[in-house]
Amino acid sequence: MFDVQTWQNGPCVVIRAAGELDMNVAPRLRAEVDRALEGSDRSCLVMDLTQVPFCDSVGLGTLVDALTRMRDSHGRLILVLTPGMITRLLSITSLDRHFETCGTLHEAFDAAA
């Protein structure tokens, strides 16, 4: 079961995903990013992935696409991650050098302020 919630917190749009992020559900996350970024100026996107225990290459591609889109619009993407599969995946692929990460939503909001 994969669930996605989105809300506004100050200057940030927050997307919280829960469940395995794989090729079957990646389009749902991409659609949620699309909705979050349409309309008014979205200078900060926070993606809470603390409840995502697994991410395949398609899911990773969705994260890279979100990062590219935020950078193209001169915005920031902050991933909220706990130690685990996604942090290892980012490290193995050297993407940890490109993504801004925090351990909690509170830390992400402080970083965005």
The string of pLDDT tens digits covering residues 17-67 is: 999 999 999 999 999 999 888 866 678 999 999 999 999 999 999 999 999
What residues does 39 pair with on adjacent strands?
none
Enclosing domain of residue 106: 3-35+42-112
Report how far residue 30's alpha carbon sits from residue 25's, in angstroms, rounded to the nearest whole number: 9
This prediction's pTM:
0.93
CB–CB of 67/36 below 8 Å? no
CATH of the domain at 17: 3.30.750.24
Burial call 11-36: b when 16+ CB within 10 Å, e when fewer: ebbbbbbbebbeeebbebbbebbeeb
The total number of structural domains in the chain stands at: 1
